[in-house]
Amino acid sequence: MNEIENKLINNEHITEEELITLLKYIIQSINEIVNSETFENKCDLVQGLIGRYLQKLNVKIYPCITNRCVASNVVGHSFIVADFKENGLYIIDPTYIQFLYLDHEFKELYINHLRVKSRSPFHYARQINPQLLLKFLQNGFIKLTEESAYLFGNSFYRTLTNVDDKFIFKDIDGKTLIDQFLKGNEILRDYGYPEIELNKKQVKL
């Protein structure tokens, strides 16, 4: 890890294999620091931990919240998009798995024909692309492409409330969602947790 971190701090190229090593280290560190099986209500905290760590590595980040980058009146959720330059953009969000565990608690509910509650984002993601969803849940990160943006973004868009029971959901295309994600500029929360450890000891001057 020291060598990978050092390369990023000094704006040097890292290989795709090194990037995957870094991403796995981030997810492992989050699991150790937060120590939660479900990650319920931990998305702001995890966004802050990941974001501050990547900032130390000079990685450009886009801290997003679904209420602003997808639509208002959807299930609120914080996540990070990171720009690894020639290696591409990645969604890093190990807390998305909470929606799998909470799926049975999300119920669709209408009052006077107005939708006030929806099913879980996991429910809709499984409808959109179950194979890609499984890969995302297993890793806690996924390369940001039009396909993955479509999966991720529309799993929240379909939770839209304040619509009548005749409303027909017309999904947002992946390119539009990527553009919206790259406007992410949320404040990184600090809850007093220990930060992800920076292994690097020295940088080139």
Number of domains in the chain: 1
Domain with 177 in it:
2-181
Q: Whole-prediction pTM value?
A: 0.94
Which tokens belong to 137? 């849940």
Looking at residue 103, what is its pLDDT? 95
Distance of alpha carbon 119 from alpha carbon 159, whole angstroms: 6
Is 41 contained in some domain?
Answer: yes
Distance of alpha carbon 29 from alpha carbon 171, whole angstroms: 34
Is 198 contained in some domain?
Answer: no
Looking at residue 149, what is its pLDDT? 98
Looking at residue 204, what is its pLDDT? 45
Which tokens belong to 32? 């150790």
Please name which of 199, 194, 204 lies closest in space to residue 52, comparing C-alpha atoms: 194
Is 203 contained in some domain?
Answer: no
Give me the tens of pLDDT residue by residue for the chain, a chain 205 residues long.
Answer: 899 999 999 999 999 999 999 999 999 999 999 999 899 999 999 999 999 999 999 999 999 999 999 999 999 999 999 999 999 999 999 999 999 999 999 999 999 999 999 999 999 999 999 999 999 999 999 999 999 999 999 999 999 999 999 999 999 999 999 999 999 999 998 788 888 988 744 444 3
Q: How many CB atoms neighbour CB 102 within 10 A?
A: 17
Please give the DSSP secondary-structure letter assigned to residue 102. Answer: T
Is 192 contained in some domain?
Answer: no
Looking at residue 191, what is its pLDDT? 82
Question: How much of the chain is in helix, strand and coil states, percent to nearest 5?
Answer: 45, 15, 40
Is 22 contained in some domain?
Answer: yes
Q: For residue 111, what are the CA distances in angstroms to 85, 162, 163, 184?
A: 47, 10, 11, 33
Cα angle 26, 29, 30; round to 5? 85
Is 64 contained in some domain?
Answer: yes
Is 132 contained in some domain?
Answer: yes
